[in-house]
Chains A and B, each alone.
Chain A
């Protein structure tokens, strides 16, 4: 008996590489049949969030430009580089700046890793915004995707919050003054409560600021709060919401697309690829067909291909491209690190990160209106879109609603003209305070270039609603105005605002100080 056991043991030892491999990779080979391809997708925890088959439209690069996936990829990059940075970073006002210097100058690849972290974060913000624009202009928020549009807005807010909290951590001049300004924006409801004299009894501004900073000023308590938010709370919230986002994509039937036309693949170049055509005489199991209504009656063929390998190649390509972009940017451009934070002397100009500069321009008219009310109004407006525009049509097609392109162009030029006009007027003539120094603060909060822009755009959208008799086109005009205005304000504050927030044509004209 003992001899057989020994033999068996030796045999098992001999077979070890094969048995371990078979245990880990159950299929054990590259899938060859469609059945094996569906198993490869279906039986893998990380792949099974994908459907087994994917529509050809979904794979079309010009439908999505891979924007959502790029955002996901840049988030993964920030997570990995972020964890690496945590190895050396010390969240204390005495040590933070020194540890940044260490990371920058001493730690092996430290500077490069930090650059990647920074660039991936910037890319993520940019791509999340573009992704939202893509979803909007392909009408992909419509039923049944309203909920996922809301989840996406939540993800946008968390993305911005992640950037904002990360901004303080280096504890340099840039960090200190940007967060001083940011926390005082949280404090800005006081503008209103002070103006009507109720701050003593009702002070939401002060409450928000103290909750954010743990103090009345930016110090150790604030740094540790921002650190906890940045490395734990917000990433956790983001990952959770991201899970919901992906889950809903599947549950809502994949990416939004129009009904398949009768008669096959005319618009997809005929028999360009092998396309699944269900036979009327055959029954298909769940494995081969996860999504969709069966059997197809009075509809064209499915126009789907296997996710393995078509979709996974595409996703891998997007990941690789994202990594390539961030690595290239990080190789040539360093993340900034200014002097140690000095509470006595502000940066001049003290500028927020670029995606907040549009807001900073609005804040320079009124902190409460520009920093709190307008962002809240914009977010509520965005959230309401899928619930006010409920007529189906145009889903999954760029500018798919009749007349949409024209409306977009008109709104683009309208918003361009109005925003440029408003900025030119403000730069040349100032605003209420310059004309009436003793004017009541309530007027400044209510009537300023920011609130006027919002009103004008709302009026324009109502005009489109009346003239074109379409809720979707009204939404398109409003969204275009928002996008154009956001871009223009961001550009203006980046390039044309210099020391003391004065107007300059170019940064090279800034006075020395």
Chain B
């Protein structure tokens, strides 16, 4: 027998090891299965598509805050756009300020188009998809982001 050969193992030790191994394998599988449970399969929550009213209500050059929905709807000469007021840092609601938006929680600041100008926010405020319902009302989908500068023209 060479020096490099593994030490011999007798049948009893081998079977014991195998039994122990299968015990831990079963335990691990059971634990993994149980830990899977708290991770939600379906995320609860309301549909975040908001009807904001007919386009005629908003004249060009205005902005309308929707506090319940955490959205500001803008209309300029090119069309409509909506910006989310949920801070991209830690989820507080930003308020409209002189230079744009300001977050009360950790002092993130944004310009009127949502770009970060100061503070810890990692991303600009998201621009949200604007569309129209069958009855002509404007719809903002708060779950769908669109690139900055995207307008919806009526």
Contact = CB atoms under 8 A, between A and B. Distances in A.
Interface string B72-90: 0000000000000000011
A345 B90 contact: no
B120 to A, nearest CB: 6
B38 to A, nearest CB: 6
Contacts of A215: 40, 43-45
Interface in B43-98: 43-45, 67-68, 70, 89-93
Q: Is the interface of A mostly helix, strand, loop or mixed?
A: helix
Interface stretch (B17-25, B104-112, B125-133): B104-112
Interface in A117-131: none
Given A221-B44, A344-B67, A364 B119 contact: yes
B103 interface: yes
A181 B67 CA distance: 19
Interface in A488-513: 499-502
A207 B36 CA distance: 12
B106 A210 contact: no
Contacts of A437: 115-118
Given A211-B38, A215-B43, A221-B44, A499 B104 contact: yes
Contacts of A500: 102-104, 107
Interface residues of B, number: 28
Nearest to B90: A184
A499 B123 CA distance: 22
Given A347-B104, A500-B107, A433 B118 contact: yes
Contacts of A184: 89-91
A367 B103 CA distance: 14
A501 B106 contact: yes
Contacts, number: 102
B2 interface: no
Nearest to B68: A344
Contacts of A441: 122-123
Contacts of B68: 344
Contacts of B89: 184, 367
A348 B104 contact: yes
B90 A210 contact: no
B86 to A, nearest CB: 10
B120 A181 contact: no
Interface in A398-454: 430, 433-434, 437, 441, 444
Interface string B5-25: 000000000000000000000
Q: Is the interface of B mostly helix, strand, loop or mixed?
A: loop
Nearest to B93: A346
Contacts of A350: 92, 104-105
B135 interface: no
Contacts of B116: 433, 437
A368 B113 CA distance: 25
B92 A177 contact: yes
Nearest to A345: B93
B106 to A, nearest CB: 4
Q: Chain A, interface size: which category?
A: 35 or more
A289 B104 CA distance: 63
A393 interface: no
Interface string A170-194: 0000000100110111001001001
A349 B45 contact: no
A16 B14 CA distance: 61
A238 B31 CA distance: 21
A177 B103 CA distance: 13
B90 A346 contact: no
A346 B102 CA distance: 12
Nearest to A218: B91
Contact of B38 (A214, A365, A434): A214
Contact of B70 (A177, A344, A349): A344
Contacts of B123: 194, 441
Contact of B92 (A180, A188, A194, A214): A180
Nearest to A192: B122
A29 B7 CA distance: 63
A210 to B, nearest CB: 6
A345 B67 contact: yes
A221 B40 contact: yes
A363 interface: yes
A214 B45 CA distance: 10
Contact of B93 (A194, A225, A344): A344
B93 A216 contact: no
A266 to B, nearest CB: 56
10 contacts: A181-B92, A207-B39, A210-B40, A215-B45, A349-B104, A349-B105, A433-B116, A500-B102, A501-B105, A501-B107
Interface of A: 177, 180-181, 183-185, 188, 191, 194-195, 207, 210-211, 214-217, 219-221, 225, 344-350, 360, 363-367, 430, 433-434, 437, 441, 444, 499-502
Interface of B: 38-40, 43-45, 67-68, 70, 89-93, 102-107, 115-120, 122-123
Given A181-B92, A346-B93, A433-B117, 14 more contacts: A177-B92, A194-B122, A194-B123, A210-B43, A214-B38, A215-B44, A216-B43, A219-B44, A220-B44, A364-B107, A367-B90, A433-B118, A441-B122, A500-B102
Across the A-B interface, give the 8 residue pairs with the lowest CB-CB distance, nearest first.
Answer: A501-B107, A348-B104, A364-B106, A184-B90, A184-B91, A346-B92, A191-B122, A181-B90
